[in-house]
Amino acid sequence: MPELKALLLDVDGTLADTERNGHRVAFNAAFNDAGLDWEWSEALYGKLLTVTGGKERIRFYLDQFNPGFKRPLEFDAFIANLHRAKTDHYIALTSSGAIPLRPGVRRLLEESTADGLRLAIATTTTFDNVTALLESTLGEGAVSRFEVIAAGDVVDAKKPAPDIYIWAMARLGLDADSCLAIEDSKNGLHSAHAAGIRSVLVTVNGYTEHEDFSGAGLVVSHLGDTDDPSRIIQGSMPQASWVNMEVLCALHDRCTNLLAV
Ligand code: XBP
Ligand code: MG
């Protein structure tokens, strides 16, 4: 039976609820700075989340929701500048401590490190955004708790493509059956599966709770804690009220013993 050696963690929606009050707010601030009258409401943003990556999301918005916008000649540079401004706003927001970790995240990171698991990040957002979130929530130097940070444009194709997970596993020097991924979205689940990772835990959030998580080993409301138990949405975790190391190991054993996902 393959041994569980590493946790690969998504960031947005998984470590913290960054989308609604983080990324969305930062996009709107950047649009405002640029003199654009675009306003991404919470509801519209839910639709835009079908596409991962901020630059890709702006293009998707224009294609699907604002086709009348007259695109500047240097369109790629226009998108890149908007996105850079958005990143600055996002970093300012997270660095101010406005976005906490989701329940159980700090605890599970500590338990898994104590048990000798290796930690890596596999995210669509930028390295700078990850750093700002980790340092504002876990303290200075928190990035060094993760052996690999696979982020943003280091790969061409973003989730649901497998590239970011493949990149992370190559840097760790591990095969897919030694890894367990924690995700919050269908795009993330598909990305991990497509990279060959068979054990995937999903912690849903307000934007993703109605997505189809067929094939996920376990789907819960959140990782949970002593005073804040996880609600099970799909699968089971016998004798546990929150996700702990026993739950992760049992999930990994179960998933890697299946012949196919
Ligand atoms: C996260 C994303 C990101 C963020 C914005 O997806 O989709 O696009 O919303 O990040 P996942 P950037 O959690 O599946 O990795 O603007 O920095 O691209
Ligand atoms: Mg996510």
Catalytic residue among 12, 17, 177, 184: 12
Name the residue at shortest CA distance from atom 8 of ligand 1: 53
Residue 244 pLDDT? 97
* Amino acid found at 153: D
Residue 260 pLDDT? 43
Q: Which residues line ligand 1 (CB under 6 A)?
A: 10-13, 19, 23, 52-54, 57, 123-126, 129, 159, 185, 187-188
Determine the distance separating the centroid of ligand 2 and the alpha carbon of 182, expressed in angstroms.
9
Residue holding tokens 């654009």? 36
Residue 261 has pLDDT above 50, yes or no: no
Whether 212 is catalytic: no
Determine the distance separating the centroid of ligand 1 and the alpha carbon of 192, expressed in angstroms.
15
pTM of the model as a whole: 0.96
Q: What angle do CA 207, 252, 134 make, to 5 degrees?
A: 50
Residue 28 pLDDT? 98
- Domain architecture of the chain: domains with CATH: 6-17+101-260 (3.40.50.1000), 19-95 (1.10.150.240)
Residue 212 has pLDDT above 80, yes or no: yes
Distances, alpha carbon 259 to alpha carbons 177, 207, 233, 255, 256, in Å: 12, 32, 23, 9, 8
Residue 259 pLDDT? 53
Q: Per residue in 50-91, pLDDT tens? A: 999 999 999 999 999 999 999 999 999 999 999 999 999 999
The pLDDT of 5-26, averaged and rounded, is 98
The pLDDT of 158-162, averaged and rounded, is 98
* Amino acid found at 183: E
The pLDDT of 182-186, averaged and rounded, is 98
Answer whether the bond into residue 67 is a cis peptide, omega within 30°: no
Q: How confident is the model at residue 134 (pLDDT cuts 50, 70, 90)?
A: very high
